[in-house]
């Protein structure tokens, strides 16, 4: 069974740290989390599950985020879970709302994440991420052009 989260895109500013402070927006894990169109990708992942049978699955963001962490850091499944447990930036990447000092899942879940997100599906996910980045660049270029036009044109 899969239960889609009802909240909007998780914002790093709202990530709660019980020991004070806040996450930095220029952190590599925060930037990566912001670059992935989680909601767009989650619908396909949810379709892999029964709507009413079985225990609820871990979220798409948790599954993909954990696989990214494992590959980027080149670590074992057990070490991936331990790194996530210790690091609030990694917890943000996998979609937790606040820091928790307990493992978000057992390391054996990594096997399930890999089965659900096959190399073919990961290639499709990568393409969606690239297309989203290109759309953001186009939007930024359009806003920049409109700003330049508005600021130069109004003084004519």
| pTM, 2 dp | 0.76
pLDDT score recorded for residue 153: 44
pLDDT score recorded for residue 121: 92
Confidence of residue 45 (pLDDT cuts 50, 70, 90): confident
pLDDT score recorded for residue 16: 65
CA-to-CA distance for 145 and 142, rounded, in angstroms? 5
**Do residues 95 and 61 make contact, with C-beta atoms less than 8 angstroms apart?**
yes
Q: Compute, in degrees rounded to 10, the torsion defined by CA atoms 21, 22, 25, 26.
A: 40
Across the chain, what does the average pLDDT equal?
Answer: 84
């Amino acid at each position: 069974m899969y239960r889609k989260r009802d909240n909007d895109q998780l914002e790093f500013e709202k990530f709660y740290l019980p020991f004070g402070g806040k996450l930095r927006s220029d952190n590599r894990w925060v930037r990566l989390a912001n670059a992935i169109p989680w909601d767009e990708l989650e619908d396909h992942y949810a379709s892999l599950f029964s709507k009413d049978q079985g225990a609820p699955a871990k979220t798409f963001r948790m599954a993909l985020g954990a696989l990214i962490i494992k590959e980027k850091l080149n670590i074992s499944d057990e070490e991936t879970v331990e790194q996530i447990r210790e690091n609030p930036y990694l917890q943000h990447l996998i979609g937790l709302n606040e820091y928790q000092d307990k493992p978000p899942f057992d390391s054996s879940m990594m096997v399930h994440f890999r089965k659900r997100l096959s190399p073919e599906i990961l290639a499709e996910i990568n393409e969606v991420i690239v297309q989203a980045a290109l759309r953001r660049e186009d939007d930024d270029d359009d806003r920049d052009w409109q700003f330049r036009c508005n600021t130069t044109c109004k003084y004519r």
